[in-house]
Amino acid sequence: MTLVIVKPRKGIVPTESRRRMVESAAILLATRGLDGTAFSDVLEHSGAPRGSIYHHFPGGKDDLVEEAMALAGERALGVLDAVVGQPPIDITQRFLDVWRQVLIRSELRAGCAVLAVTVAADSTDLLDRAAAIFRAWRVRLADLYIQGGMAADPARRLAAIVVSATEGAVVISRAERSLEPFALVAEELLALTPTA
């Protein structure tokens, strides 16, 4: 089981308030979007001290956002470590669980921070980071499916649709404030996944 931690940058000691800021940013991005998440919101939500923003994130908001996305990215990857070597159906189930929990715990108010950044990003840099995370999820799922006995091509296609459909379903369930769209998609994705 991979430890889910924020990767500290070289030379920067990760303090507690810094860690909380990244954590809060991830939640707020997933809930209010990129431009809806101001530094002031992150400070309020995290309880972090006002004066330390540019100390911890010299590159400004983009620095913070990149780390928050990375955190979200590693969280989803980390959860998959628990099902290494298990059949494909368990892999899909586990990935779906992550996002079902996000929806339920937030009362259908939060979604995916990476997706939120993608649709509002104005810099290629942020887009690159988002792309890397989506790709990492897809590649990781495909690998696990292959380990679970699937051939490479079907595994890659399944991984692609699992990530895409889940992301889309989260957005739509948020919009409708109902778990129904997500549940329908989950059912179909599981039906698509080999049981052994």
Partner DNA sequence: GTCTATACGAAGATAGAC
Partner DNA sequence: GTCTATCTTCGTATAGAC
Where do contacts with DNA occur on this chain (CB under 7 A)? Answer: 13, 15, 17-18, 37-41, 49-56, 60-62
157 near its own copies, judged by CB under 8 A: yes
Of 14-22, 79-87, 143-151, 172-180, which segment contacts its own copies by CB under 8 A? 172-180
Helix (H, G, I), strand (E, B) or coil at 7: coil
138 near its own copies, judged by CB under 8 A: yes
Contact between 177 and 189 (Cβ < 8 Å): no
Q: Which helix (H) or strand (E) holds 81?
A: none
86's contact among its own copies, DNA, none, with CB below 5 to 8 A by partner kind, is: none
CA nearest to 166, candidates 76, 79, 87, 78: 76
Q: In angstroms, rounded to a whole number, what is the distance separating the alpha carbons of residues 77 and 97?
A: 13
Contact between 73 and 179 (Cβ < 8 Å): no
CA nearest to 21, candidates 35, 39, 9: 39
127 near its own copies, judged by CB under 8 A: yes
Position among 20, 32, 45, 61 found at the interface with its own copies (CB under 8 A): 32
Query: Which is nearer to DNA, 109 or 135 (by Cβ)?
Result: 109
Of 3-11, 34-42, 60-68, 86-94, which segment contacts its own copies by CB under 8 A? 34-42
Biggest CA-to-CA distance, the chain? 54
**108 CB contacts (<8 Å, ≥6 apart)?**
173, 174, 177, 178, 179
168 near its own copies, judged by CB under 8 A: yes
166 near its own copies, judged by CB under 8 A: yes
Binding site for its own copies (CB under 8 A): 32-36, 111, 114-116, 118-120, 122, 127, 130-131, 134-135, 138, 156-158, 160-161, 163-169, 171-172, 174-177, 181, 184-185, 187-189, 192
